[in-house]
Structure 1
């Protein structure tokens, strides 16, 4: 659970509500026709811009991704990959089939290794899988960014509609003030939806997409090294390039000394027993 997203939304709604309630009655800021113009118009425009299936798939996926906090760290995959490589060097590629990992993409790569596939085939399958997954994430970010664009526009549209209705009843001056207030509510709703919900979620999805690309690229390289039965020292030199600069020395120390962390790397030893034990843990 990404508590930052949840806390941000709750605090934002709470601050807006308290600001309104301290200055006037909250009920005067609630207008169903204005809300329907903004929400209905935004949803309709989004459906026009994107395929129907894309909208209904991207929105749930987008909200799920925005509220989900990934716990997988690149260093954990490097530890695990080195342990699996030791096991494969000792027992052959088929040994990768019995290693338990939680990450579905990593598990798919290990299955390809266990099946005896060559590097070109593994590269093609995993790269295509990554591209399709990233494409789905991109659509989710684009849908929320479109909502951020359309919501203020339909808020202004609702304001114009309210102004036309207000000006058409100029013969009754007592209704002008209330009519103007109702007309401006659509702009208020549009601004809130765009800046409190749509834009932050779109930006968070884009950030998570970039991190997912980096993580999957690391996993692909891990699978390549395992398939080639690379020795642990050379493997660390290749894979540590995917780590931030501050984590590289720590990652190397963990791999060489065998101090496994949360990645379940265990204590690698020269005879491969530590790596074999690591295969029973999950990443």
Structure 2
């Protein structure tokens, strides 16, 4: 399950707000108008779109907006709950056998976990399950990398097109030195294209690309933990040993949350016994 990642829009908003605030604090509203130039915008955006169309296939271009949206979403997996799930599945498998886990499938939403548990129920060996699940992780990484490359290349091309716009503005300015009235607008094109390209690259595209790379690493790490849990359930590992193995991956707030959940469970069991 994925939820909205508010840090991305907050970061972009803060960046643009600070830039706008710096402009307004020195030139007021009139100064802000000086930083708006349609020609510069067309050069950067048009050149950027053209470069991406040349660089990538049609199928990859179609992924741009879906990949772009991924920077505004995050996986809602909670490690403590994930560990408790595998401990519960392990207890049930040891008590009633792997086939009894079929009754739990309706409560498992994650398709990766469902696939692993179904493989275990079908009697597939642990080594084969590990190979199948890791092959899916590799395919996921390649898919994510191809999508992220779109955003990364946009971050590389934007400043370049800003410089191209600067050269265009300088040529226009130098070719009309006899006309003082044209110097200002042409200089605006020269400077603003570089500004637009740099802002898009360093405030939008490159940070998003880095964030997507981090999210991929986190997802791979999570799926590796899931594989450990599935193998533990399939092999009939002692639930307490499996719990200790998986809880070793917890750090910080997740570890504290898990300890609180364990404490609450123990207290609840004592109350129930009493």
Please indicate the TM-score interval, normalised by the length of the shorter structure.
Answer: 0.7 to 0.9
**CA contact under 8 A between 1:88 and 1:95: conserved in structure 2?**
yes
What is the DSSP-based 3-state SS (H/G/I as helix, E as strand, rest coil) of the residue aligned with 2:265? coil
| Partner of residue 242, structure 2 | 235
**Alignment partner of 1:90 is 2:95:** yes
| Partner of residue 205, structure 1 | 212
| Partner of residue 195, structure 2 | 188
Per-residue deviation at 1:223?
Answer: 0.7
Moved more, 194-203 or 118-127: 118-127
Distance 2:75 2:45 in 1: 31
Distance 1:75 1:139 in 2: 31
Number of corresponding residues: 260
Normalising by structure 2, we get a TM-score of: 0.85
Per-residue deviation at 1:227?
Answer: 0.8
Unaligned runs of 5+ in 2: 270-274
**Alignment partner of 1:73 is 2:78:** yes
Distance 1:194 1:155 in 2: 10
Distance 2:103 2:237 in 1: 19
**CA contact under 8 A between 2:37 and 2:188: conserved in structure 1?**
no
| Partner of residue 273, structure 1 | none
What is the DSSP-based 3-state SS (H/G/I as helix, E as strand, rest coil) of the residue aligned with 1:69? strand
Do the aligned partners of residues 66 and 246 (structure 1) sit closer, same or farther apart at CA in structure 2, a change above 3 Å counting? closer
What is the DSSP-based 3-state SS (H/G/I as helix, E as strand, rest coil) of the residue aligned with 1:243? coil
Per-residue deviation at 1:202?
Answer: 0.9
Distance 2:245 2:190 in 1: 61
**CA contact under 8 A between 1:62 and 1:201: conserved in structure 2?**
no
1:174-219: CA deviations, max 9, x gaps?
A: 2112211122111011011001101111111111111111100000
Moved more, 109-118 or 222-231: 109-118
**CA contact under 8 A between 2:152 and 2:205: conserved in structure 1?**
yes
Distance 2:163 2:154 in 1: 14
| Partner of residue 156, structure 1 | 163
What is the DSSP-based 3-state SS (H/G/I as helix, E as strand, rest coil) of the residue aligned with 1:229? coil
**CA contact under 8 A between 2:12 and 2:204: conserved in structure 1?**
yes
| Partner of residue 272, structure 2 | none
Distance 2:254 2:260 in 1: 10
What is the DSSP-based 3-state SS (H/G/I as helix, E as strand, rest coil) of the residue aligned with 1:242? coil
1:107 aligns with one of 102, 114, 127? 114
**CA contact under 8 A between 1:225 and 1:235: conserved in structure 2?**
yes
2:128 aligns with one of 103, 121, 127? 121
| Partner of residue 57, structure 2 | 51
| Partner of residue 44, structure 2 | 38
**Alignment partner of 1:63 is 2:68:** yes
Distance 1:167 1:106 in 2: 65
| Partner of residue 21, structure 1 | 24
Per-residue deviation at 1:69?
Answer: 2.8
